[in-house]
Structure 1
Amino acid sequence: MNTVSNPTAARVRLGAHGVTRRFGTLIANDTVDFSALAGTIHAIVGGNGAGKSTLMRILQGMDRPDAGTVIVNDQPATLNGPADAFDKGIGMVHQEFMLVPGLTLLENLVLAREPVKGLGLIDRDKALGAARALEKEAGVTLDWDMLVDDAPVHVRQIVEILRLLYRGADVLILDEPTAVLAPSQIRELIALLKRLRDDGRTILFISHKLDEVMGVSDDITVIRAGRVIRSMKTSETTKAELAELMIGEILHETSARPGQQGKSVLVAENLSADDSRGVAKLKSANFTVHAGEIVAIAGVSGNGQDELIGAVTGLIAARGGSVSLSGNDISKLPLPARRARGLAYLSPDRAAEGLCLEASIAENAIVGHHRRSAFVSAGILKLGQIAAHAEKLLDAYSVKRASSDLPISSLSGGNQQRVAIARELDGNPDILVACQPTRGVDIRGIAFIHQCLLEYRDRGGAVLLVSEELNEIITLADRIIVLYNGELRGELHRGDGDIELIGRMMLGEAA
């Protein structure tokens, strides 16, 4: 196991001085200064397009600044790629984990750094000894023989962290590390990070969850429009002040208000579905979504949410059961036919599934609706009417763009999501299936999207919401259905439960 020599001797373990990075006329980082002190947890917060990702790429050696310098151990440093950063003790845990399927947790831990014995064979006992030592240091216990495919998401995350430690990293960059965790798992992660900090490690914590930022960090740097707005001690600020610094104005939180339940719109009976490997992931689910209500599905990632949504929308074939929409059986219909009958679908993956990044903003705003009689005549598209409608729709949802003819990839993630939700709510569908509607969206965008969902519900729309953000679920949902291990384990009404209760149910504990 590699170690970094005396990492706490330097006051500034990792930082930036005057870092500027341009992409054409866009200035992603503008003379950025910040200092993460050795043995501290330093949070980096900012909205979409603030420049956080560019700065992290520079700190990891994946990109080079046009001006300014990275600071490592109080000294200017040039990072010639991630391997060079790693040699200086800097590692990153990405949102999308890098573990290799089909291998055990132990094999993933030592992959490419395996200890060997005679004849070049892997010394498993030595590898397991290193794993146990890391376990003890981190205060965790793992089944190292478990396949990564079978490991819960929080266990995979712990292995990612330990793998960096095994390779000698004492600076850990964590990008939205709590996005897919239950509350108790978040507490365990925060406790782990604090133990690592107390052992002298330095942690950069990138997150939009301000409650967690306030609870875990020692210092905070706020970035807006590529510039550092302020760096401060966590003890010297508040969540409200952070939110204002991030967006440049006071943000009022979405107020929870109950819906008025109407007729049943979507009914699932004994719905079952398998994953891509043929493993049963959704088991005999029964639920109803009414007009005028938001029903949320709460569960730790990987407990059957993808299969439930796939079976409801027609993206995957259900193994059993039925789905009806406004009294009509749609179980055998593909997604386009279900759309034609009043189902709208907001994909959790806007880049790969929800949008066509190469197409224009306007085209993305009307695709799926382009066959309306107002937009087509004798098979020929009425481009003028389409353009006018798209402009009206984009304005209504406050989509910031230089031109609607530009590729939608030119927009920030939050504005892309505004286009997607504008398109899905256009025409007032009977039901909106909204999956991770605020994923990758900053706090201003989150507030806007929440308001859109509530206003649609108040017009009589039905919403089936799948989210990994429990605060979002509690704010929006009239009813909460908890999914654990493919089974619906309980139902709560607005005001019946708090985050802790829902979190326990998500882990299979009785309500």
Structure 2
Amino acid sequence: MQAAEEKPDPSIRLGARGVTRRFGPVLANDAIDFRARRGTVHAIVGGNGAGKSTLMRILQGVDRPDSGVILLDGAPASFAGPAEAFARGVGMVHQEFMLAPGLTLIENLILASEPADGFGRIDRAAALAKARELEALAGVSLDWDTPVEDAPVHVRQIVEILRLLYRGADVLILDEPTAVLAPAQVRELIALLRKLRDEGRTILFISHKLDEVLAVADEITVIRNGRVVDSLPRSSASREGLAEMMIGEVLARPEPRAATAGTPVLEVAGLSARDLRGHAALSGFDLTVRAGEIVGIAGVAGNGQDEIAASVTGLCRIDAGTIRLAGADIAGQTLAQRRSAGLAYLSPDRAAEGLCLAAPIAENAIAGHHRRPDLCSRGVLRRKAIARHVGDLLDRYSVKRASDRQPAGSLSGGNQQRVVVARELDGDPKLLVACQPTRGVDIRGIDFIHRCLLEYRDKGGAVLLVSEELEELVALSDRIVVVYGGRITGEVMRGSAGLEEIGRLMLGGRQG
């Protein structure tokens, strides 16, 4: 009997059989098979370009396979679009939250599915009753009148999940759901997912954080180069084994040596600044970063760490305070002047700020350095010198490309980030402000970037590291400054505190 004629297994709530999808010459999904059983958490892991995103689009009805089928309740199915997928119980919480600003939590919960009274008006009492019912189901308690922009990030994520439940979804696809959460909030989310699982929901957990995958998943599917490497129960999985399957080889974690901190490179004193909405984000903030050290900034999203980086780089105006780079006050200088003074910057958004995706790789690799005497003479770019320099630079940082003239947007996310890191570290700047340096980068790329930062530090460079990845901060930082509500709640030296203590400080606790 052919595989297509096999008897449906109703215990399979969602899955794929032989799903293949090409984009021109690129084979994004190659005969992918997986089965997520009803009432389980099924993790899907893989590096950049592994095919996870394409598979998720197909499962949502955003895209269709060239061959193969989706399995719904064990039987072949197809979705005309996301609305039909949702009508059949499949919903997704995206990494970038989809809540509407300017509305309260309750308004976001019921948006586009508002209960109405006999006069066609929104029945707020019915909406609140349903919200309380969902609260009880999830084991949480929320202030539903809170404007969404004032809600903590973990509360917004809970509302995203409850919104799917409100609309009847019983399959929840979660894309990197712990990316911006403190450890205590991660535990709360995992507890919520387990509760939903135990009540019969099916959860697809998409993540590169293998420790969290191992903590929550019942089954794990590993994808590499568009193919399923293995699907295995949690009991048979290990962090090292999953990492090896994801990249095809064993990676040894870099072991940073103790820092030898030198003279102050960055000195921030009495800094006050506002966020994009004009609200006070920093108040009387002091910070020093010395040559030969990495200082990490830890905090739950929205507590001032973005404004610290923006103030230092000149991307936002400050209300008060001084910012000194190698002894010179740069608070009133432009970004270009700060770069000339020795500042380098890894933007958290490489697509919008770090690169011009439509421009050639070579132009991106020298942007900001193009007036250097060895690359420019009397205002005219020295094309041959640039070609030699860019070729050597990108080879040194192992950027995989067909040509230095191809658009930067044609590179994978990991290779795009290598271009940015190569450019910013070129010329040995005095200070590197690194914001989310491994966002959207797979395990191999993370390892490479970590080694680059440590090598730069060991040569005497100063690094201000802002990251949502607490494990990354702990692995790289010589000191971690923890912020909450725009103020420092504590400072932790390497090896002196664990994730739990740092997480407590991130939620407003004070050092004893």
- State the TM-score, normalizing by the size of structure 1: 0.98
Distance 2:315 2:247 in 1: 37
SS of the aligned residue for 2:99 comes to coil
Q: SS at the partner of 2:266?
A: strand
User: Are the counterparts in 1 of residues 274 and 282 from structure 2 also a CA contact under 8 Å?
Assistant: yes
Structure 1 distance, partners of 2:10, 2:82, is 21
SS in 2 for 1:120: coil
Distance 1:107 1:454 in 2: 46
Matched with 2:4 is none
Q: CA deviation at 1:311?
A: 0.7
Q: C-alpha separation between the residues in 2 aligned to 1:389 and 1:256?
A: 29
Distance 2:34 2:313 in 1: 46
Shifted more, 274-283 versus 425-434: the winner is 274-283
After TM superposition, where is structure 1 displaced by more than 6 Å over at least 4 residues in a row? none
Residue matched to 2:140: 140
Q: 3-state SS of the aligned residue for 1:369?
A: coil
- Say yes or no: does 1:30 pair with 2:30: yes
Percent identity reads: 65
User: How far apart are 1:401 and its partner, in Å?
Assistant: 1.1
Q: Tell me the distance in 1 between the aligned counterparts of 2:104 and 2:317.
A: 31
Q: CA deviation at 1:378?
A: 2.0
1:17 aligns with 2:28: no
> CA–CA distance in 2 between the matches of 1:302 and 1:382?
44
Residue 6 of structure 2 corresponds to none
Identify the residue that residue 399 of structure 2 maps to in structure 1.
399
Output the CA distance in 1 between the equivalents of 2:335 and 2:119.
56
Alignment partner of 2:119: what SS?
helix
Corresponding residue for 2:181?
Answer: 181
Residue number in structure 1 paired with 2:102? 102
Q: Which amino acid aligns with 1:177?
A: P
Secondary structure of 2:510's match? Answer: coil
SS at match of 2:35: strand
Whole-Å Cα distance in 1 between the matches of residues 63 and 232 of structure 2? 26
Partner of residue 258, structure 1: 258
2:352 is the counterpart of 1:342: no
Which residue pairs with 1:166 in the alignment? 166
| In structure 1, distance between residues paired with 2:206 and 2:489 | 33
Is 1:354 paired with 2:354? yes
Instruction: Tell me how far apart the structure 2 counterparts of residues 257 and 203 of structure 1 sit (CA, whole Å).
Output: 41
Question: Letter of the aligned partner of 1:374 in structure 2?
Answer: D
Pairwise CA distance, 1:253: 1.4
Equivalent residue number for residue 379 of structure 1: 379
Offset of residue 465 of structure 1: 0.3
Q: Provide the C-alpha distance between the structure 2 equivalents of 1:10 and 1:88, rounded to a whole number of angstroms.
A: 14
Q: Which amino acid aligns with 1:125?
A: A
Higher mean displacement: 248-257 or 315-324: 248-257
The one-letter code of the counterpart of 2:54 is T
User: Which residue of the partner structure matches residue 231 of structure 2?
Assistant: 231
Alpha-carbon distance in 2 for matches of 1:19, 1:366: 41
The structural deviation recorded for 1:18 is 0.6
Cα distance in 2, alignment partners of residues 283 and 410 from structure 1: 42
| Conserved? CA contact 2:32–2:228, under 8 Å | yes
Give the drift of 1:363: 1.3
1:487 matched to 2:468? The reply is no
C-alpha deviations, 1:206-230, integer Å up to 9, x for none? 0000000000000000000000010
* 1:314 is aligned to 2:309: no
Distance in 2, Cα, partners of 1:359 & 1:71:
41
- 1:449 maps to amino acid: I
**Counterpart for residue 91 of structure 2:** 91
Who is 1:193 aligned against? 193
Match of 1:270 in 2: 270
**Shift of the alpha carbon at 1:397?**
0.5
Cα distance between partner residues in 2 of 1:385 and 1:81 = 51
For residue 497 of structure 1, what is the aligned residue in structure 2? 497
What amino acid is the match of 1:430? K
Q: Does 1:114 align with 2:93?
A: no
Does the 8 Å CA contact 2:256/2:454 hold for their aligned counterparts?
Answer: no
> Counterpart of 1:493 in structure 2: which amino acid?
M
1:275-309: CA deviation from partner (whole Å, max 9, x where unpaired): 12211001111011000000000000000111111
Q: Does residue 1:440 correspond to 2:421, yes or no?
A: no
- Bigger Cα displacement from structure 2, 296-305 vs 360-369: 360-369
Contact 2:41 2:216 in 1 (8 A): yes
Output the CA distance in 2 between the equivalents of 1:254 and 1:134.
45
C-alpha distance in structure 2 between counterparts of 1:288 and 1:497, whole Å: 20
Report the alpha carbon displacement of residue 256 of structure 1 after superposing the two structures with TM.
Answer: 3.3
- Tell me the amino acid that sits aligned with residue 25 of structure 1: P
CA distance in 2, matches of 1:254, 1:145: 47
Aligned equivalents of 1:310, 1:98: Cα separation in 2: 25
Q: Which amino acid aligns with 2:453?
A: L
One-letter code aligned to 1:36: A
In angstroms, what is the RMSD of aligned CA positions?
A: 1.0
Counterpart-to-counterpart distance in 2, 1:451 and 1:313: 23
The code of the aligned residue for 2:43 comes to A
Q: Secondary structure at the match of 2:98?
A: coil
Listed as ranges, the gaps of 5+ residues in structure 2 are 1-8
Q: AA paired with 1:420?
A: V
Query: Equivalent residue for 2:123?
Result: 123
The residue that corresponds to 2:281 in the other structure is 281
Is the 8 Å Cα contact of residues 489 and 509 (structure 2) preserved in structure 1?
A: no
Native 8 Å contact 2:20 2:68 kept in 1: yes
Report the equivalent of 1:413: 413
2:508 partner SS: coil
**Does 1:305 pair with 2:305?**
yes
* Residue of structure 2 equivalent to 1:77: 77
Match of 2:52 in 1: 52
Distance in 2 of aligned mates of 1:406 and 1:228: 30
TM-score for the superposition, normalised by structure 2: 0.97
Q: Distance in 1 between matches of 2:468 and 2:348?
A: 11
* Pairs aligned (count): 504
Q: Does residue 240 in structure 1 map to residue 259 in structure 2?
A: no
Q: Write out per-residue CA displacement over residues 104-159 of structure 1, whole angstroms, 9 at most, x where no aligned residue.
A: 11110001100000221111110011000101011111111111111000000000
The answer to whether residue 508 in structure 2 is matched with residue 508 in structure 1 is yes
CA distance, structure 2, for counterparts of residue 149 and residue 370 of structure 1: 40
The 2-side partners of 1:66 and 1:367 are apart by: 40
Counterpart amino acid of residue 17 in structure 2: H
- Specify the alignment match of 2:5 in structure 1: none
